Structures are given as C-alpha cells and as structure tokens.
Amino acid sequence: MARAVDVPELVQQARAGRPRAVARLVSLVEDGHPALREVMAALAPYTGQATVVGITGSPGVGKSTTTSAIVTALRAEDRRVGVLAVDPSSPFSGGALLGDRIRMQEHALDPGVFIRSMATRGHLGGLSWSTPQALRILDAAGCDVVLVETVGVGQSEVEIASLADTTIVLLAPGMGDGVQAAKAGILEIGDVFVVNKADRDGADIAVRELRAMLRLGDRHQEGAWKPPVIKTVASTGQGVDEVVAALRDHELWAGESGELAARRTRRASGEIEAIALTTLRERFGSFANGNRLTDLAVEVVAGRLDPYRAAGRLLDGLNGG
Amino acid sequence: MARAVDVPELVQQARAGRPRAVARLVSLVEDGHPALREVMAALAPYTGQATVVGITGSPGVGKSTTTSAIVTALRAEDRRVGVLAVDPSSPFSGGALLGDRIRMQEHALDPGVFIRSMATRGHLGGLSWSTPQALRILDAAGCDVVLVETVGVGQSEVEIASLADTTIVLLAPGMGDGVQAAKAGILEIGDVFVVNKADRDGADIAVRELRAMLRLGDRHQEGAWKPPVIKTVASTGQGVDEVVAALRDHELWAGESGELAARRTRRASGEIEAIALTTLRERFGSFANGNRLTDLAVEVVAGRLDPYRAAGRLLDGLNGG
C-alpha cells in the first residue's frame, strides 16, 4: 500500500525549504508511513533550531485569526514561520479545519511561511506520536518559529499545546464560560494569555478576572515566569506586537531558567515513548504472536480470565519473541 | 498514598448491589489504584451479563435528558440499570458534568439504578483503560443494562461509545451542523439514531437527511443491521419506548449474528492492550531502567539520536530487565 519514497531527495528538498517536500513529509507522518524511520534519522542533526509556540483555546475565540496575525508580525521581522494546525479528527468537528484555513490564505504565497494541517485519524499513537515528528520536519525545513494551533478543545489539544516551548492560551470576552473554563485547568498551561476580541463588551472584566485567578495560582517562586495577560483584536492586528514581544520574553526566560531544555526533553520523552508503545502494539497484533491478544480477549469475555492477568500473559509473550 | 482497601469485602458488597461499594470501586478505577488488579480478578466470574449501551452526540442535543428518559423506561420493565457518565476531562468543559447530573436526580433514590460519573484526568491509559473496568464493576453489581454516556464530542468519546454492545447516536434539529457533523464519521458507529427535540422545526428534515445518508452507507449486505432513525422529545418521554424497543431489537440481532461476541472481544482486546501498555509505561519510568527514557530524550533533543532509534533502545532495555 505504501508508496515508494525517495527519502534522501525529499529530505534535501525539505531542508532547502521546498514547500511541496515539506508537505509530503508531513503527509508521511499523517499516514504513519514506514519511511518515517529513515526520514527522522536523516532530519535529526538539523533540528532544535525552531521555537515552538502552542496556541489553544475554545472554538470562537479567534485562534486562526490570531495565528495569522502573529504570522504577519513575525514575517515583518523576517523570521521564517511554520504553522501546524493539528486536528484531532473529532468526527463531530469535521470541516471546521478547512474553513479556518481560509483565514490563513494571505500567507499562502509567502515562501517564508509553511502552513500544514495535520489530522491523525485515531491510528497509531495519535497526536503524541505525530505532532513532535511534524514539528521536527518544520524545524529542519528552516523555520525560526513553528506555531502549533490545535483545532479542538479536548484533553489531547491541551496536551499538544503544552508540549510547546511557549503556550498561548486564547480567550474572548462574552464567551460566557471563558473565564469559568479557565478555572478548569488551562491556567496551568498558559505562558501567555490573550484576551482576543477586546473591542467587545466585557474584555476588561475578563482580563481582570484572569489576572486575579493567575495571582491565586502557584507561580510565586522567585524567578518564576509571570504569565502576561494581553488584549488583542486579532482581526485588526491590535495588540499582536505585544503578544510577539511576550513570546520573545518567555523564550528568553525559558532559555535562561532551564525551562526550555526541560520542556524539550519532556517533549522528546513523550515522542520516544509513543513510538515505543506503537511498536509494541504492532507486535501484539503481529503474526509472530498469532492471535494471542484475541485469544486472551475471548477468555476475558467469558469471565475465565481477568484483564490484568491477560495483560501479564501478553507481555510475557513479548520476551519470548 | 493509596488508602488500604478491603477488596473481598468491597466486592461482596458491590455484588450485593450496595451503591456505596459500587461507587468506591469505580473511584479506584478513576484513581488507577493498585488494588484494581485484585478487584478485577475477583469480579471476572460475575461479568458478561449486562448489555452495554453507548450514548454519544454533540453538546446540546439532550444526552442527559435522553439517558434519564431511557432509564425511566427500563425501570418500568424492572431492569436494573447502571449509568456511567464518562468525562474525558477536557479542561475546557469542566463543570458541565455536574450540571448534567442534576437531570439524573429523579433516579437518585431508586435502588435499581446506579449512577456514576467518571473522570480520568489524563493519567495512565486514559479512557480505554478505565471505561471497560468501570463497566465490569457495574456489570458484576447486577446491572441488566449499563448506559455509557460520554460528555464530550471528541475522538475519545466516540471510541468509548463504539465500545458498547449497542451505540445510540443522538442528534437534534436546528443544531445547524447536526447532519453535517454526522457525515464526518458518526454514521458508522451508530446502531440506533435518535433525533431528539423532535418538536422543534427541522426535525423531519433532519430525519430525512439522516436516512438518506444511511442509505448511502455500506450496510447493504444480507442480514446487516439497518440502523433505525427515531424521533424523540426526551423531556416529555415521547418516542423513548421506541428507542428502548430498538435497543432490544439490536441486542437480539447482535446476539444472533455474532456481532455481540465480536464487539465484546474487541472491547476486551482494547482493555488488555491498554493495561499492558500502561504496565510498560510504568516500566519505562521505573527505577530499574534508571532515567533511561530521559537520557534518551536528551540525546534526541541534541539531535544526536533520532526518536525511532531511541525508542528501539528503550525497548531493548525491556528485555534486558
């Protein structure tokens, strides 16, 4: 099924910044293509240059518009920018991505911007498997900054955003539950908070409440990063320079404090683990193990075996080969 | 940290239908408590009796109201009912669960109904790890039917719903994207489609479009299940008996066609695999392996190693012990 891939050629073209080669490599990640092993080996020496910025927030807060405005600001500084729009492929949100992409059109012809949407249709190790690999591709392609925008609002999107070097949490006034939602967990993952659509009623209240909640958080240690809360109107560009400045401040702080190295190590740990677990899942289902997993499942369904003992037997089988 | 648990006593009480014991066991699942291994071994012989019905759909379609109405209908037939509300703990949806639960209050004092919400805060193997174990508890506690209601709308919720013996997909007219969303993947997982809030404008259009789309699907084989599309007004109970009849029809068909056994084997396979992978993750991070994973991650961050090779070394370490 897998199409033949000329990896050295693709990698060379991607490193030269050819958009089609970059797109093709990201597609290989989406497909879980076997050539990825060779691709990642070839790219490894050229990675670690890009700053990865995660952007997350509820639908309707203006994620795509904000991302686009940040791209514009970064391009004004002549920085090469990658945008990775991650779609966890909720069957219920299908189509949202395509519509959102239209807002990025203004950058479509800029050779200094790579825009890639990535869906992972539940296969393999999911987003924790694919996102770091796609980031590595954009990194090796020479991006100075990669913006990772997650489309949804679930656990996995937040996890993706929190894999970044810097995470922007986007809110909007009048979302009803904006600040309420913030209480539920996103306060911990945000390095920069942006209240977008700040020309609307309630923006100042949202900012004030958010700041109050951040003060209640546990970031009071000496030298800890104090997440700024910035008002923007992304559609007009208002406030976006301030966001870009905050990103730079955080990058600087993270580099000096050791936080950047810690996050990148955590990201790589997750990636290695996801690849290892995917490999094991393939082994569970592989011919060498026959239908071991299914046989065990039948025993569990019949109540003759409990799932823990079944899992133990499955793992015993691994060592036996 | 883990509280001592008298497993034989708890299991005995749960089997006798004591709600507190059932609740405590489900809490052990939420916590990933080490006593679970013993719990599942003790429960194994008493499982496989309950019919598991998944209920999924976008927010606002009336999942909780419908679930509650189905519970009422099943109780009228004197069947013991468990309700497992699964919350994938999106930081953005925090609080939604509590509000929804209020609609279930009318069953709170009925000793023939167990209602448990379960959140899995991203720990361990997530929902694929915890949901089957919670189902097993409700099953062993004597439930004839367990309704699994997922709170969110993401990939994982759909996966949970599709683990059921029978899956209800809930839609509502005037949701704008209801039918549009249906195209994106939920058509395949639904065994029974319910257009709730059928007293609203657009209900007949929604039903007609849904039926047309289902005809386009690939369920035309001889003997295949033809998913019915049923209109309900769950708040008044209208149409709910028809839903319950459809559940029974599907249960019958699934039993005779072998689909029930196939689904349960698939569910147990997923559970065994999730437990096995969780065990391995613990080994990766365990003292015996030192900081092997972190050491490898540092090499990957530095670009001296690619993630696939790192994963290979991690797995090599497993066999070495």
Residue B146, domain CATH: 3.40.50.300
A123 in Cβ contact with A30 (< 8 Å): no
Q: Is residue A2 part of a domain?
A: no
Residues B86 and B216 in one domain: yes
Last residue of a domain, one of B257, B273, B307: B257
In this structure, the number of other CB atoms found within 10 A of the CB of residue A244 comes to: 21
Residues A296 and A182 in one domain: no
Report, as an integer, the average pLDDT of B63-74. 93
The count of structural domains within chain A is 2
- In this complex, the residue of B153, B276, B312 whose CB is nearest that of residue A315 is B276
A72 in Cβ contact with A240 (< 8 Å): yes
Q: Which residues in chain B have their CB less than 8 angstroms from residue A301's CB?
A: 48, 261, 264-265, 267-268
Q: What residues 203-262 of chain B have any CB closer than 8 A to a CB of chain A? A: 261
Q: What is the widest separation between alpha-carbon atoms in chain A? A: 66
Last residue of a domain, one of A214, A231, A263: A263
Say yes or no for a CB contact (<8 Å) between B181 and A94: yes
Residues A307 and A182 in one domain: no
Q: Is residue A273 part of a domain?
A: no
Quote the minimal CA–CA distance from B270 to chain A in Å.
9
**Pairing mode of beta strands A113-119, A229-231:** unpaired
Q: Is residue B232 part of a domain?
A: yes
Q: Is residue B32 part of a domain?
A: no
- In this complex, the residue of B90, B185, B269 whose CB is nearest that of residue A91 is B185
A284 to chain B, any CB pair closer than 8 A? The answer is yes
pLDDT for the residue B2? 53
Residue of B28, B61, B90 to mutate, interface with A, max A Cβ within 10 Å? B90
Phi, psi of A218 (to 5 degrees): -110, 45
Q: Is residue B24 part of a domain?
A: no
Residue of A nearest to B122 (CA): A155
Residues A106 and A234 in one domain: yes
Q: Is residue A268 part of a domain?
A: no
Residue of A nearest to B46 (CA): A303
Residues B180 and B309 in one domain: no
The whole model's pTM is what?
0.71
Say yes or no for a CB contact (<8 Å) between B302 and A48: yes
Last residue of a domain, one of B240, B257, B274: B257
B221: pLDDT strictly greater than 80: no
Residues A240 and A311 in one domain: no
Q: Could you tell me the end-to-end alpha-carbon distance of chain B, in angstroms, rounded to an integer? A: 27
Say yes or no for a CB contact (<8 Å) between B314 and A264: no
Say yes or no for a CB contact (<8 Å) between B301 and A89: no
Q: Is residue A40 part of a domain?
A: no
Q: Which residues in chain B have their CB less than 8 angstroms from residue A176's CB?
A: none
Per-residue pLDDT of chain A (321 residues; tens, 9 = 90+): 456 789 999 999 999 989 899 999 998 988 888 899 999 999 999 999 999 999 988 777 888 899 999 999 999 999 999 999 886 654 443 333 444 455 567 787 788 898 888 776 554 456 778 888 999 999 999 999 999 988 655 666 667 766 899 999 898 887 654 455 554 567 778 899 999 999 998 899 889 888 888 887 666 677 889 999 999 999 999 999 999 999 999 999 999 999 999 999 988 988 888 888 888 877 776 544 557 888 899 999 998 999 999 998 888 877 544
Residues A233 and A314 in one domain: no
Closest by CA to A56, choosing from A174, A189, A183, is: A189
Residues A97 and A237 in one domain: yes
Contacts of B76 (CB under 8 A, 6+ apart): none
Quote the minimal CA–CA distance from B98 to chain A in Å.
13
Q: What residues 106-125 of chain A have any CB closer than 8 A to a CB of chain B? A: 122
Residues A175 and A219 in one domain: yes
**Confidence class for position B102, pLDDT limits 50, 70, 90:** low
**Confidence class for position B288, pLDDT limits 50, 70, 90:** very low
Residues B158 and B289 in one domain: no
Residue of B157, B292, B300 to mutate, interface with A, max A Cβ within 10 Å? B300
Q: Is residue B270 part of a domain?
A: no
- In this complex, the residue of B153, B276, B307 whose CB is nearest that of residue A271 is B307
Residues A259 and A289 in one domain: no
Closest by CA to B274, choosing from A280, A301, A159, is: A280
B169 in Cβ contact with B190 (< 8 Å): yes
**A199: domain range?**
48-263
One-letter amino acid at B11 equals V
Residues A247 and A130 in one domain: yes
- In this complex, the residue of A92, A279, A297 whose CB is nearest that of residue B311 is A279
B237: pLDDT strictly greater than 60: yes
CA distances (Å), origin A221, targets A211, A215, A228, A256? 17, 12, 16, 16
